[in-house]
Chain A
Amino acid sequence: MGPATLVFWIASLFALGGGLGVVLFKQAIRNVLSLVVVMLSLAVLFLLLSAQFVFAVQVIVYAGAVMVLFLFVITLLGPVREQSTMRLPWQVFISAVVIAGFAGFLVAMLRGVTYRTPDAADPLFGTVQAIGAGLFTDYLFPFELTSILLLVAAVGAIYLSRGPR
């Protein structure tokens, strides 16, 4: 087992553990921290996949900004505990069924895919230059739209959180 494989397994373990933590922890803050663990593990995996820019963005934006936002909100709202009484008794059972089916389909789909021949190998794969070139030439339009989306989200968030006049 070479170093890459080892890194992969360790990162996967952390990711899965974090995922389980997200689903299972009762205290909200532990959920958030589990998610941070998942994100950092995934960042490592991105790096393993030679996607340097994505790795950086994941760490800075996702784990660094979005998660921090979640933490702010949690501390703002205070500790929240879930009640034990359930309003939808069948929810768990049906969810289990649905998810089982979902998982099965996912696997089946992934098995059934015919992969096309890969493009030519690019020494600049995953680098900032490659991403930048793509963003500002072929994919300029989606880039601009995404900026507008962020603007809308920011305005919306400010408006929504203004509270009663």
Chain B
Amino acid sequence: MLLDAGTIQVGSEQLEVSWFLLLAAALFVLGAIGVLIRRNPLVMLICIELMLNAVNLTLVAFARQLNNREGQLFALMTMTVAAAEAVVGLAILVDIFRVRDLEDVDDLSELKG
């Protein structure tokens, strides 16, 4: 209806794929806003995770619509990478917090000029 993406059969109903896509888009945009506006580094990482999740939803929705498995596999890869990235990012954060009492990511501005 909205995006002309077709429908899928769930049980006995037809669901619009476009709804899933729009939801994913909305979550992605929310995540983007969060990364840009929030100043707590931890929260920024979380917002990035949100964006990744939104992308996963899009991938799986398309996979279902087109009946192929690449989308799901890609979503699995994305999850793996997101996990790895979250681990390393958190480790760096912990390292920084060990040295200084960081509350605002804007404090990390030594690499300027």
Direct contact between the two chains A and B in their complex (CB within 8 A) = yes
Number of A-B residue pairs, CB cutoff 8 Å, is 235
Contact among A28, A65, A107, A161 for B95, CB-based, below 8 A: A161
Contact B50 A106 (CB under 8 A): no
Contact among A51, A116, A150 for B64, CB-based, below 8 A: A51
> Taking A20-B30, A156-B91 as contacts, is the C-beta distance between A35 and B3 under 8 angstroms?
no
Contact B34 A23 (CB under 8 A): yes
**Any chain B CB within 8 A of the CB of A111?**
yes
A-side contacts of B85, CB under 8 Å:
153
Contact A16 B27 (CB under 8 A): yes
Contact A23 B72 (CB under 8 A): no
Contact A77 B84 (CB under 8 A): no
Which of under 10, 10 to 19, 20 to 34, or 35 or more describes the interface residues of A? 35 or more
Instruction: State how many residues of chain B have any CB contact under 8 Å with chain A.
Output: 78
- How far is A159 from B91 in the complex, measured between Cα atoms in Å? 9
**What's the minimum C-beta distance from A15 to chain B, rounded to whole angstroms?**
6
B-side contacts of A51, CB under 8 Å:
60, 63-64, 72, 75
Contact among B50, B86, B104 for A22, CB-based, below 8 A: B50
**What's the minimum C-beta distance from A54 to chain B, rounded to whole angstroms?**
5
B-side contacts of A12, CB under 8 Å:
19, 23
A-side contacts of B104, CB under 8 Å:
82-83, 87
Contact among A62, A107, A119, A163 for B83, CB-based, below 8 A: A62
B-side contacts of A153, CB under 8 Å:
83-85, 87-88
**Any chain B CB within 8 A of the CB of A57?**
yes
Q: State which residues 47-79 of B face A: CB under 8 Å.
A: 47, 49-50, 53, 56-57, 60-61, 63-70, 72-73, 75-77, 79
Look across to chain A and name the residue whose beta carbon is closest to the beta carbon of B53: A42
B-side contacts of A80, CB under 8 Å:
40, 42, 103
**Any chain A CB within 8 A of the CB of B36?**
yes
**Any chain A CB within 8 A of the CB of B13?**
yes
**Any chain B CB within 8 A of the CB of A10?**
no
Contact with B along A47-75 (1 / 0, CB 8 A): 01111011001100110011001100110
Contact with B along A131-146 (1 / 0, CB 8 A): 1001100010010001
B-side contacts of A66, CB under 8 Å:
49, 82-83, 86
The 10 closest A-B pairs by CB, nearest first: A153-B84, A95-B36, A160-B91, A87-B106, A23-B34, A4-B10, A157-B91, A2-B13, A19-B30, A119-B67
